[in-house]
Amino acid sequence: MAFLQHLLVLELISLFIIINQPQYSLSAAIQKALILPLKTQTLPHGGSPPKPSNKLAFRHNVTLTVSLTLGSPPQTVTMVLDTGSELSWLHCKKNPIFNSIFNPLLSSSYSPIPCSSPVCRTRTQTLPIRPSCDLNKLCHTIISYADATSIEGNLAFETFNIGNSARPGTIFGCMDSGFSSNSEEDSKTTGLMGLNRGSLSFVNQMGFPKFSYCISGRDSSGVLLFGESSFSWLQPLNYTPLVQISQPLPYFDRVAYSIQLEGIKVSGKILSLPKSVFVPDHTGAGQTMVDSGTQFTFLLGPVYTALKNEFMQQMKGIWSPLGDPNFVFQGAMDLCYRVPLTRPSLPQLPRVSLMFRGAEMVVSGERLMYRVPGMVKGGDSVYCFTFGNSDLLGIEAFVIGHHHQQNLWMEFDLVKSRVGLAEVRCDLASQRLGLAL
């Protein structure tokens, strides 16, 4: 999954892989944009799948999820949207903790891939752990993450239904065993949709040249769109080019959506940092990745410290610091404040601007602070700054999480190798696109 997908609900360290770009020869049917809503939900057992539609729905809590159907007859699954992972996978074996699985025994179109297949030998070269041959001579794959989460199973072909189109022969992982660091959250979904730039990613297998999503900061709704996103109500996007390297480096993920962070402002004041702290070093460490599978944003130590100190300075007189040096939220967020439970709304807070090459992401208001669930100090709730220290997690990168992408139209253009963004009310975008949530 994404770079940090199992930190707080599937926030996993991203995988370092090499890209094989596909050919984008799109049929007229594929070129038409497909719109899907996303949602986080607990799926009921049993029941019949919904009728196919080219409009689905999107909700998010700490992960972004999309529901779709696959197999013959169709089975409904819910997948975490992850721009930091390549291989899409589903839980395929019954387990008491899972509310939803895909049962391959019930699908006539399911076809496991033998390890003698060229697909197993060549298409999997981009995966971080090369598949092996199991006792049944099937292509066996293992995915491991930095939080000790791992999952394994067999690669297989299946028919995925996207909108009104059936896509037979889609490659995915049908997983039957593993260990999760957050089984409670894993139980809410069936698997993961890998959307990075690797050859086996979902967007590349579907043949779309680009995709977009928009996450509401108001009602947890949103939209996922495959294809062009030309709408009269959407202002022109600001684009930042992807950072690409020709030679593989040990700490550079070449199939991530890696962009160049050039500086950070707090209420217009640019942090006094050398440009070199934002540039990957000779090992590839220090890249900046846009990751929908990570909730918050994580910065390398020197940059985080500079941001934290300036934000604290500008917060003087607004809120009282928590005053507990031993409390670190999610192991990486150590700037927290006490806020009276009687306070009806947030005050005016300093704005943080992430300055990219050609584009800027402004984080303000509720996106800056996150209320720690269930934590009360005296008569105060506890809010933590939504930027964390990558060094405390052992991460050699800057990671832009989906919490800071709220109310932005985010476009990922695989053909032109760029990421575009523009401010928009995402709850209204969903309404304009006619999504029934």
224 in Cβ contact with 37 (< 8 Å): yes
Of 227, 287, 163, the residue nearest 413 (C-alpha):
227
> Phi/psi class of residue 235: alpha, beta or left (left: φ > 0; alpha: ψ in -120 to 50)?
beta
Cα dihedral value 79, 80, 84, 89, nearest 10: -30
Of 65, 61, 432, 412, the residue nearest 217 (C-alpha):
61
DSSP notation for 10-26: SB---------PPP---
CA dist., res. 94 & res. 145, Å (int): 22
Residues 397, 401, 404: CA angle, nearest 5 degrees: 125
82 catalytic residue (yes or no): yes
Q: Mention every residue, 6+ apart, whose C-beta is less than 8 A from residue 429.
A: 214, 223, 233, 234, 409
Distances from the Cα of 61 to the Cα of 41, 57, 379, angstroms: 9, 14, 26
Six token digits for residue 172: 């995915």
324 catalytic residue (yes or no): no
Q: Integer distance in angstroms from the first to the last C-alpha of the chain? A: 25
Catalytic residue among 147, 186, 253, 291: 291
Place of tokens 């399911």: 110
The strand ranges marked E within 267-351 are 269-270, 287-290, 297-299, 320-321, 336-340
Of 178, 180, 196, 202, the residue nearest 66 (C-alpha):
202
Q: Mention every residue, 6+ apart, whose C-beta is less than 8 A from residue 330.
A: 7, 8, 296, 388
The strand ranges marked E within 297-347 are 297-299, 320-321, 336-340
Could you list the active site residues? 82, 291
